[in-house]
Amino acid sequence: MLRMLPLLALVATPVFAQETVPDYSDDRSTPEALVTSLYNAIDRREYLRGWSYFASETAPDYETFRDGYATTEDVELRIGSVETEGAAGSIHSLVPVAIRATDEGGEATVFTGCYRLTQVQPAAQDTPPFRPIQIDDGTLAESDEPFDTAMGTCEP
C-alpha cells in the first residue's frame, strides 16, 4: 500500500499549467468592496455581473462595456482614499482607482480614474426592490505612471 502512494501523487499532479481564475467576489457592502467586485467580475470575464454594478439609468451600453474587455487577460486594481458624504437621504462616494490591464499578448496598460457611487440610505428604503450601492459614473484615462504609484483623482 505504501508503494502506491507516490504513484498516486504523480497521477494527481497536473502535467500542464492551468489558468488561474480569481475566487468569486460579489460584495456590495461598501464603495471599495463594490469597485473591487466590479474588477473581480471583469477579471473572471463575468461581464454581465460587472455591468450590473452600474445604476440602470446611467449604465453604459452592455455590448460596448463587454466588448471593451474583449482582449483583456488580467486586471489589477488599487483603490485610493474614498470620500463619502450624505445628502437628502442618499450616500455619495468618490472612489479613486488605478488599474493595470494586461491584454492577451501580455502588454500591460495603466489607467487611472474615479468612480462615483450612490446608495439611498438603507433605513429609508421601504418599497421593493432594495437598491444597493451602485456606480453612477466612472471615468478612466490611460496613464504613463507606473501602476505601483499611479492613482486617480476625483473631483467633487
| 7: amino acid identity, one letter | L
* Region at 106 (left for phi over 0; alpha for psi -120 to 50; beta for the rest): left
Name the pTM for this structure: 0.85
Which residues does residue 110 pair with via DSSP β-bridges, in sequence order? 100, 143
Residue 87 φ then ψ, to 5°:
-160, 130
Rounded (10°) CA dihedral 80, 153, 112, 94: 60
The percentage of the chain sitting over the pLDDT mark of 90, rounded to a whole number, equals: 80
Domains present along the chain, CATH in parentheses: 29-143 (3.10.450.50)
Q: What is the DSSP letter of 16?
A: S
Q: Is the pLDDT of residue 15 over 50?
A: no
Q: 9: which 3 cell numbers? A: 501523487
Quote the CA–CA distance of 61 and 47 in Å, as a whole number: 12
Q: Of all helices (H) and strands (E), which one includes residue 38?
A: helix 31-43
Share of the chain above pLDDT 70, in %: 88
Is 12 a residue whose pLDDT tops 50? no
So what's the pLDDT on residue 8? 36
Cis peptide, bond prior to residue 60, ω within 30 of zero: no
Q: How would residue 19 be classed by pLDDT, with cut points 50, 70 and 90?
A: low
Grid cell 460596448 is found at: 64
